[in-house]
Amino acid sequence: MTVAKRALDALSQHHAKKAPHDMRQAFADDPLRFKRFSLALDDMLLDWSKCAVNAETMKLLHELAQASEVENRRDQMFAGDLINTTEKRAVLHVALRNRSNRPIRVDGKDVMGDVNRVLSAMRDFSTGVRSGAIATASGKRISDVVNIGIGGSDLGPAMTVLALSPYQDGPRVHFVSNVDGAHLADTLKGLDPARTLFLIASKTFTTIETMTNAHSAREWIVKHLGETAVPKHFAAISTALDKVKAFGIGEERTFGFWDWVGGRYSVWSAIGLPLMIAIGPDNFAHFLAGAHAMDEHFRTAPLAQNLPVRLGLLDVWYRNFHRFTTRSIAPYHSALKRLPAYLQQLEMESNGKQVDMAGQLLTFGTSPVLWGEPGTNGQHAYFQMLHQGTDVTPLEFIAVRDAAHDLPGHHSKLLANALAQAQALMVGQRDTGGHKNFPGNRPSTFFVFEQLTPESLGAFLALYEHRVFTSGALWGINSFDQWGVELGKVLARDIEPRLASGDVQGLDASTAGLLARLRPRP
């Protein structure tokens, strides 16, 4: 029997004992439970004392991590090995925020020189845009920046620009992702073409949504300002430099990155340019520094004190032993409104896999469904089900001690609600009549930040990336490819001309029937 199999069997037996039977009892038995099951790192505290674990569970999970060689796999990532085997690529988003400049090599070449060169070009460009030194074709100051991108080329910058809005002191930044023309049209409605800069963000520069929006944006500029204005109203962020050139964007306005940066891990690269323009290069450097500090923690802390490892282990415990199929994200901070969407891509595109590294079908579950809304909004929508529904959904609370505004009477209510919801889920309430009975013993984790700063946000996102890495490593899957999004893209290319021609040959009856219904009226 392998060491990993032995560790798994030990966990199964432990789970069969229903340990810990009841969190309420666990708190009663151990007055130090909060202290033992929480950890502070800089200004972030993670409390997992309201999780369905005890000391024995954590010990057995750590044994599983050791047996599954998580540390070895982590070291391979930091060493630039080609751990994304299906695409034969290294996975080095950690190099993008490697503030120590410790050499990180791909194929024997240290990538830090290239990383720092692009960062410095981004710094010059964003400083110019923010100060007005880089102006539009008519010499006007840029008042609005529109980022056109989708998936990893949208969610990271869109989420972080909103999350760090108290630091925003640059031009307004907008995000257009959907191929639905309404998204671009609605955004352009309020904008002055003579003061607008478009950033076309696409790793591949082929993504249909982004290229369709980019061409429409180009037409809008040409219509209002003429063809000659184009170079001063566009910049590009991409790994496909030849395609950017063909679009008509000059080299001096093209910010590159590399194939070892996955889309969902790219906010630290030139894809973060909208954030740098919004909050300034110094704050962006703090964002990178926060992530780097977390990288160093993940790289060096022993398993038992390693926060991302701990969370990844809990995720596996919940998914494979408790068989929880979803996890709900509850940021009690409205600026983190887009966080659930960002985490959906990070976790579900990374770990939503059904085969192992060798392509063999797995016999256990992988990524849970992530979902959520900011608190307190979610309380008035789906928390009913979380408290009294038939399924148990672990919740992840995120709360910030200091308010990001100065309106009196709000923040204490917000924080009280976060605490009360986590408490109610765990404590429950007895009612013999049934309807008002809360079973309780429902698990949650709780993150506390002192303030939401560029550093703390950077650290939190890096923590999440490494947590996803850990669960992916335990499952033995490739967390860095995304073949599952390809088939739909191919089929859409076949279907689009059929909408015009009406040709339904070879289509299944449902697709044919729907297509007929959706065809434009003559």
Q: Shortest approach of ligand F6P to residue 150 CB, angstroms?
A: 5
Q: Shortest approach of ligand F6P to residue 280 CB, angstroms?
A: 25
Token pair of 112 as six digits: 């830090």
Residue 106: C-alpha distances to residues 89, 258, 260 (Å):
9, 11, 9
Q: Shortest approach of ligand F6P to residue 204 CB, angstroms?
A: 3
Q: Which is nearer to ligand F6P, 110 or 259 (CB)?
A: 259
Q: Shortest approach of ligand F6P to residue 298 CB, angstroms?
A: 22
Integer-rounded Cα radius of gyration of the chain? 24
Q: Which is nearer to ligand F6P, 147 or 393 (CB)?
A: 147
DSSP 368: P
Q: Which is nearer to ligand F6P, 8 or 267 (CB)?
A: 267
What beta strand segments (E) does 383-504 contain? Answer: 395-400, 444-449
The answer to whether residue 87 is catalytic is no
Phi and psi, residue 235, nearest 5°: -140, 160
Residue 484: CB atoms within 10 A of its CB come to 12
| Distance, CA of 153 to CA of 236 (rounded, Å) | 11
The answer to whether residue 17 is catalytic is no
Q: Shortest approach of ligand F6P to residue 208 CB, angstroms?
A: 9
Q: Shortest approach of ligand F6P to residue 267 CB, angstroms?
A: 11
Task: Name the helix (H) or strand (E) containing 237.
Answer: strand 234-238
Token pair of 179 as six digits: 């191929």
Q: Shortest approach of ligand F6P to residue 348 CB, angstroms?
A: 11
Q: Which is nearer to ligand F6P, 170 or 274 (CB)?
A: 274
Q: Which is nearer to ligand F6P, 126 or 482 (CB)?
A: 482
* Residues 180 and 208 sit within 8 Å (Cβ to Cβ): no
Q: Which is nearer to ligand F6P, 198 or 318 (CB)?
A: 198
Q: Which is nearer to ligand F6P, 19 or 179 (CB)?
A: 179
Q: Which residues make up the interface to ligand F6P (CB under 6 A)?
A: 150-153, 202-204, 207, 210, 263-264, 349, 482, 485
Of 28, 156, 79, residue with least CA distance to 461? 156
Q: Which is nearer to ligand F6P, 210 or 421 (CB)?
A: 210
Q: Which is nearer to ligand F6P, 150 or 221 (CB)?
A: 150
Q: Shortest approach of ligand F6P to residue 262 CB, angstroms?
A: 7
Q: Shortest approach of ligand F6P to residue 359 CB, angstroms?
A: 20
The answer to whether residue 292 is catalytic is no
Q: Which residue's CB atom is positioned nearest to ligand F6P?
A: 263
Residue 78: CB atoms within 10 A of its CB come to 17
Query: One-letter amino acid identity for 55?
Result: A
Letter string b/e over residues 291-301, b meaning 16 or more CB atoms within 10 A of that residue's CB: bbbbbbbbeeb
Residue where the block lists tokens 């033992």: 36
* Residues 46 and 37 sit within 8 Å (Cβ to Cβ): no
Burial class (CB in 10 A: 0-12, 13-18, 19+), 353: buried
| Distance, CA of 69 to CA of 85 (rounded, Å) | 17
DSSP 192: -
Of 309, 340, 339, 289, residue with least CA distance to 69? 309
Letter string b/e over residues 4-29, b meaning 16 or more CB atoms within 10 A of that residue's CB: beebbebbeebbeeebbeebeebbee
Q: Which of 21, 405, 436, 489 is catalytic?
A: 489
Q: Which of 63, 209, 347, 349 is catalytic?
A: 349
C-alpha 82: how far from chain center: 22
Beta bridge partners of 330: 397
Task: Name the helix (H) or strand (E) containing 370.
Answer: strand 369-372
Q: Which of 35, 215, 380, 410 is catalytic?
A: 380
Just list the catalytic residues. 349, 380, 489
